[in-house]
A and B are shown apart, each in its own frame.
Chain A
């Protein structure tokens, strides 16, 4: 039941903050903040309470720390089935934490229709938590699509229409169509999988554990796997499918960007590890080289395009593509170390991207522009913001001692054993990362100031938010062990599922 509350808290909180708008504009903010803190507290309690070393996605022997199941649509064998293991726990912690940040960072930025804004913000969170918990494929798809609508509103109604770019409504529509139509392919794949399972076993079921046992013909497995892969590829985003990301990020309000980069992109990586790979291990093994090269393309392309941007938020958006390239390589290397790196990288990127987006939001609030040609010389005009910006830029380029370094290092280390050329090309991402991070620092912080008047510096709220994010990045960089311990069992399960498939296809006995 506690899992249901994890989903319900944001939904109820959202409704309350929508309705309390009539009391005043402060009430929705406080209610949203309290419900996000409540969600985070509940997640933290679950994390500290349980031992996550025993869980795994392995075939048949999956153990969930917490599980909840009631019938939902028995006519189609669909149930409301939630389950929590180490991976979903970490993702929920990240989502809840960034949810708190998203509420705080829009405290002064959003001034119109405050209640409705927080309704959307919280509903995104609720749907995302649902995605991370769902163990029924129909339910998963349900939540997967549910997060689109509030995100659409967030961008379309509270976004900025940047000059030269698409308008905010067009950007939101683009986002919606990309993700919805790719999601439809996933629905087709889900239904196809269920039908194959039904014709073999005579049981209609959308349940994860049941479908894991489905025996698929190789051609069918490929087709169904592609349905999942394309849906995740769009959300990831993997490079040929990334068209929506820069536009959506540029037009989205800060809180929207934080949610998008910090959480929504992670649902795709989570979906790959939870569903695409364990359900279709053979096809995934065959896809792996292609996927990893796509990851390399993403790393390099994202970095190069980021370097060329003049809009600071667009720059950060492209760095997300680059960072998520590492995650993709790590996932499809099927190496235990790399998979562990993926988890750290996802969390670290979530936090550092959130930090950068919040920073660009703060700059926008002060300067009303995101053009870097209008910035420069901030060291002379502000006291606190420049070092903070410097810190997040350093985190983004993968400075040792901060979380991103741990993630990227583990991924590269694990991939090294799998494929040398891929590792070599991926490593160039670190160099290019330094290039785009430093050009951003140079254009905004250094150089001659545009004019000498000082800019209002960070207030306590903003500074506190930044310090928290920084502290977590340092903690991840210095002592990532608790994270690794939590996810180890799940990642081992993923790896095991794939290893069995690889051995079977090579005709080798299964190694234990």
Chain B
């Protein structure tokens, strides 16, 4: 088949990201110069982000059977690139004190980002799987990157074993579906799913969803999340919570809401997913209650948040669901970047652990008032308190679930109310630590001029966005129309 200029233009973000990873690799081979390698990586990712605009100019394009580049995929491509870029920014200052090779981190980061973009535009099970593996395999390396810390190794092994198992299950599911329909393209499988729900197809679909639910850390497939979040270096945690999750969720929603909406009408699938959503909300919020490690708390919090997102997916339908989902994910990305960002700014890769214990944050407000304010804002946003972006996300979920009006809808609403009430308790517990009297000694301290570093600026911008979206959400609501417009076509 021929490759037109339009198709190439539509694929620009992916091409530039892949090219960046090659360039970063070459520049490392040429010379290990931390600043220069960072520069290459940042320039490449920025160029990819800019190219999203040009890709949008050519309209929806199907590029080979594998990819489709439309508003939906471009919105999430942009989000993944922004999240990847933010994580790279965080890495830059964080990894300075690392004694071993620092540069490969950027390489892994760009590969993972490319994997995410592949998934965001995937229109075919083959591209879904390629994207997922590109992302996961580079994440194994990233999670265990600070290998001088025992926790990091533990996390990496855990993630490797469990993630590989999940991929295998997912692959088996795909194979079962293929065995019945003889096709891997979403658009060919989608319409047949509802009419033809044979047991084999159901099993295949279930295995596919299990694999995806594992990557999204939905209960009961969440067991790896807190450990991996705790062990991974803080900026990798940021990437894991944002770009990685966005990519997997984007492809899940593309399959379930836009292509194979019939799948959700199969009662067994719908009931199971609803139960998973409720379980995730409750498990995530309840298990976070007794944690003393912020990264673990953020891990549990992400379980709960993806439970809320699943509610949105199940109740929102293809129009409102996609809009709300895009808004919620954007909000979650911005909030997570700002909360992980603060932890990163406090920590150094060279130390034997990150500043992730609650007592490390104690009294932060009296030492670094602005940094503590940023953390407060992101915690309130995670808790869904008005004035912050998190509330707008919660508002979308509630509107969707209220409109749904069925017994599952009410059950999910009840879970949301209960989950939020519990959630506030542990977010407040972290938050008040920032303001309590400072202890005499503290092991971790953000640099005095943290606000002048790019990473500091990035966190500052993320928090500013959290407040801006919380106060004036209209901008975001207009922006997500890009994703939605493609969804309805």
Contacts and interface: CB of A to CB of B under 8 A. Distances in A.
A195 B402 CA distance: 8
B298 interface: no
B435 interface: yes
Interface stretch (B192-200, B337-345, B420-428, B448-456): B420-428
B398 interface: yes
> For the complex, would chain B's binding face be called helix, strand, loop or mixed by DSSP majority?
helix
A185 interface: yes
A146 interface: yes
B9 to A, nearest CB: 31
A187 interface: yes
Contact of B477 (A75, A181, A185): A75
A184 B420 contact: yes
A146 B478 contact: no
B399 interface: yes
Contacts of B417: 181, 184-185, 188
Interface residues of A, number: 30
Contacts of A74: 474
A180 B399 contact: no
B175 interface: no
Contacts of B478: 75
B473 A73 contact: yes
A173 B427 CA distance: 10
A192 interface: yes
B418 to A, nearest CB: 8
Given A72-B474, A75-B474, A191 B402 contact: yes
Contacts of B385: 145, 148-149, 180
Contact of A156 (B395, B398, B432, B474): B432
B386 interface: yes
Interface in A148-182: 148-149, 152-153, 156-157, 169, 172-173, 176-177, 180-181
Contacts of B420: 180-181, 184
B428 A176 contact: yes
Contacts of B399: 191, 195
A195 B403 CA distance: 7
B474 A173 contact: no
A177 B424 contact: yes
Contacts of B428: 152, 172-173, 176
Nearest to A148: B385
A193 B428 CA distance: 30
Contacts of B424: 176-177, 180-181
Contacts of B413: 188
Contacts of B436: 169
Contacts of A149: 380, 385, 387
Interface in B283-302: none
Contacts of B472: 72-73
Interface in A32-87: 72-76
A225 B477 CA distance: 30
Contacts of B380: 149
A175 to B, nearest CB: 10
Contacts of A157: 435
Interface string A186-223: 01100110010000000000000000000000000000
Contacts of A75: 473-474, 477-478
B421 A73 contact: no
- Which of A169, A172, A180 is most buried by chain B, counting CB atoms within 10 A of its CB? A180
B429 interface: yes
B386 to A, nearest CB: 4
A190 to B, nearest CB: 9
Given A74-B474, A169-B432, A142 B386 contact: yes
Nearest to A173: B428
A141 interface: yes
Given A72-B472, A75-B477, A181 B398 contact: no
A75 B481 CA distance: 11
B398 A187 contact: yes
Interface in B455-473: 472-473
Contacts of B425: 173, 177
A219 to B, nearest CB: 13
A322 to B, nearest CB: 28
Contacts of A141: 386
Given A72-B472, A153-B435, A146 B387 contact: yes
Contacts of A142: 386-387
A184 B478 CA distance: 26
B373 to A, nearest CB: 10
B434 to A, nearest CB: 10
Contacts of B403: 195
Nearest to A168: B432
A201 to B, nearest CB: 15
Nearest to A174: B425
A180 B394 CA distance: 13
Contacts of B395: 187, 191
B421 A184 contact: yes
Nearest to A74: B474
- Which of A72, A74, A187 is most buried by chain B, counting CB atoms within 10 A of its CB? A187
A168 to B, nearest CB: 10
Interface in B396-450: 398-399, 402-403, 413, 417, 420-421, 424-425, 428-429, 432, 435-436
Contacts of B391: 145
B402 A192 contact: yes
B224 to A, nearest CB: 30
A430 B85 CA distance: 67
Contacts of A192: 402
Interface string B356-399: 00000000001000000000000010000111000100010011
A141 B391 CA distance: 11
A145 B386 CA distance: 6
A188 B402 contact: yes
B421 A156 contact: no
- Which of A113, A148, A184, A192 is most buried by chain B, counting CB atoms within 10 A of its CB? A184
A62 B166 CA distance: 61
A187 B387 CA distance: 15
Interface in A390-435: none
Given A74-B474, A181-B420, 9 more contacts: A72-B472, A142-B387, A146-B387, A149-B385, A152-B428, A173-B425, A173-B432, A177-B424, A188-B417
Interface of B: 366, 380, 385-387, 391, 395, 398-399, 402-403, 413, 417, 420-421, 424-425, 428-429, 432, 435-436, 472-474, 477-478
21 contacts: A72-B474, A73-B477, A142-B387, A145-B385, A145-B391, A148-B385, A149-B387, A152-B428, A153-B435, A156-B432, A169-B432, A169-B436, A176-B428, A177-B425, A180-B385, A180-B424, A181-B417, A187-B395, A188-B417, A191-B399, A191-B402
Question: Which 3 A-B pairs have CB atoms at the shortest separation, nearest pair first?
Answer: A181-B421, A75-B477, A145-B386
